[in-house]
Amino acid sequence: MKDIIKNSIIVIARRFAFASGIFLLCLCSINLWASSVAAETKVIGYIASFTDMKAAIDKTDLSKLTHINLSFTNPDAQGKLVNNGVMTCMPGMQGGNVSVAEVRYVIDKAQAAGVKVLASVAGGVIPACSGNWQTLLQPASRQMLVDNLIAFMEELGLDGIDVDIEGVLLTNIDNAGNYTPFIQALSAQLVARNKLLTCATASYVGGMIPVSSIPYFDFVNIMSYDAIGPSWGPAGAQHSPYSMAVDHVNLWKNRGLTKEQLVLGVPFYGYGFGTYKSDYTYASILSEFGAESANKDLIGNACAGCNYITYNGAATIKAKTKLGLEQGSGIMIWELSQDAASANSLLKVIDDEINQLSSSSSSNQSSAAASSIVPVASSSAALSSVAPASSAPASSAPASSAKAAGGQTSGGGGAIGLWEMLLLSLFVLALQVGHLFRSEKQKNS
């Protein structure tokens, strides 16, 4: 009997080590799976040079962002972006162009917090200091501009380039056959350096990037706002309703954007009509009209000839975050300096929604994993009896906070929960122990 116990203990120890190894392997696999999916979720914030860029980065909770786009810089007529420590065409808040030192301050602070930083080029309104983009993108000068952009990126230690050529300028460049070749040439250089290429696009005819350029972008920021403004749009409309975001998401999915490429843009500002001033930041709306305005999208009544302010409050931003993460890979913000502080921050609303979706996604995965384990046969081959976990819904929500590179989406297939894996390992071990005792007893009988 002593020999049976001794031999059994030795074999049990070996089997336990084997079972533990299997458990740890599964644990590592799950962690690797979670890490790889986490990188898919993006929270991208623009910081504009016409604001106090240092103040904007200092007041922003960087743990809630994955990327910052510095906007906007433009090349001069020779394609240069920096001259004697000053940006050649990046107008600042106080007039003149922003210094390279100010740009470096933002880059260094963001990257120290693990946030990637891209330079956004062009913009909705091209300043007078810029070179002519239509000329610069012609075949004779295109490669020179690409080389200068790459040199500029490497000099400042940036993580990529964001192209924001818009409107009539975009149409003219594309009609001349020069937009996609420029994007293709820039992409080749960035891919070789493991850097990002992104863009911003509108969703109206004449303002959309061409379909031919889509494969070259890592992701595309959809500017789902400005349906109405101080001098455009249908009277009495709102400038960024949820319904418009849904329409834009569907439009770009149909145009060929993958889920990983699609990023939904949301506004941190509003427009006023009638007796109200024309432009408001979200922070100024709360300051002027009180904290209760955080839960609204309107001050006044939206109608032709009426006095009202249209913007996105917390509830709409929350709903758009869910939409952007279910149908795409993240949220883009224009613009970070416009956010309110503390509890009323829209960036906080976005982050809270990501965490809420994360919690729901994790619970769903655990439930799916528990239901996927079938009874194990009384055999030493019991390890083969685990059924595949049920797949997650197609519109899987992200898990985990935006920081750490992103958040997490549940992806196509569910994962076995850690507790289920531990219980399974112990169950298999118990079966092995019983099997060994029976075998040893039979050999010694």
How many Cβ atoms are within 10 Å of 336's Cβ, its own excluded? Answer: 24
Exposure of 295 by Cβ count < 10 A (0-12 exposed, 13-18 middle, 19+ buried)? exposed
401-411 pLDDT, tens per residue?
343 333 333 33
Instruction: Please give the pLDDT value at position 22.
Output: 52
* Relative orientation angle of helices 314-327 and 242-254, to the nearest 10 degrees: 10
Say what the pLDDT of residue 14 is. 58
92 residue type, one letter: G
Average pLDDT over residues 200-210: 97
Mean pLDDT of all residues in 99-110? 98
Segment among 28-32, 73-77, 226-230, 351-355 with least mean pLDDT: 28-32
Q: What average pLDDT does this structure show over 310-336? A: 98
Domain boundaries, the chain: 2-33+360-399+406-444, 42-357
User: In 13-166, where do the E strands start and end?
Assistant: 42-48, 67-73, 82-83, 86-91, 97-99, 116-123, 160-165
Can you give the pLDDT at residue 396? 28
pLDDT tens-digit readout, 53-78: 999 999 999 999 999 999 999 999 99
Could you give phi then psi for residue 172, rounded to 5 degrees?
-65, -45
Q: 443 pLDDT band (50/70/90 cuts)?
A: low
Closest CA to 329 of 47, 29, 67: 67
- pLDDT tens track for 129-144: 999 999 999 999 999 9
235 DSSP 8-state letter = T
In contact, 221 and 201? CB cutoff 8 Å? yes
- Fold type of domain 42-357: TIM Barrel (3.20.20)
Residues 6+ apart with CB under 8 A from 277: none
What is the pTM for the complete model shown? 0.76
Q: What is the pLDDT of residue 342?
A: 80
Per-position DSSP letters for 396-415, written without gaps between them: PPEES-S-TTS-EE--SB--
- d(CA 406, CA 408) in angstroms, rounded, equals 7
20-55 residues labelled b (16+ CB within 10 A) or e (exposed): eeebeebeeebeeebeebbebbbbbbbbbbbbbbee
Say which range, 32-46, 275-289, 346-360, 375-389, has the weakest mean pLDDT.
375-389
Pick the more confident residue, 165 or 357. Answer: 165
Low-confidence winner among 133-147, 193-207, 296-310, 362-376 (lowest mean pLDDT): 362-376
pLDDT band, very low/low/confident/very high, at 412 (cuts 50, 70, 90): very low
Q: Which two tokens stand for residue 309?
A: 């302010």
State residue 358's pLDDT score: 79
pLDDT for 2-49, tens place per residue?
A: 555 555 555 555 555 555 555 544 444 444 444 333 447 899 999 999
**Higher per-residue pLDDT: 90 or 367:** 90
3-state secondary structure (DSSP) of residue 372: coil
For residue 192, name the pLDDT band (cuts at 50, 70, 90). Answer: very high
pLDDT at 436: 54
Render pLDDT for 233-255 as a digit per residue (tens, 0 to 9): 999 999 999 999 999 999 999 99
Residue 227: φ, ψ to 5°? -65, -25
What is the pLDDT of the chain when averaged over all its residues?
83
pLDDT at 128: 97
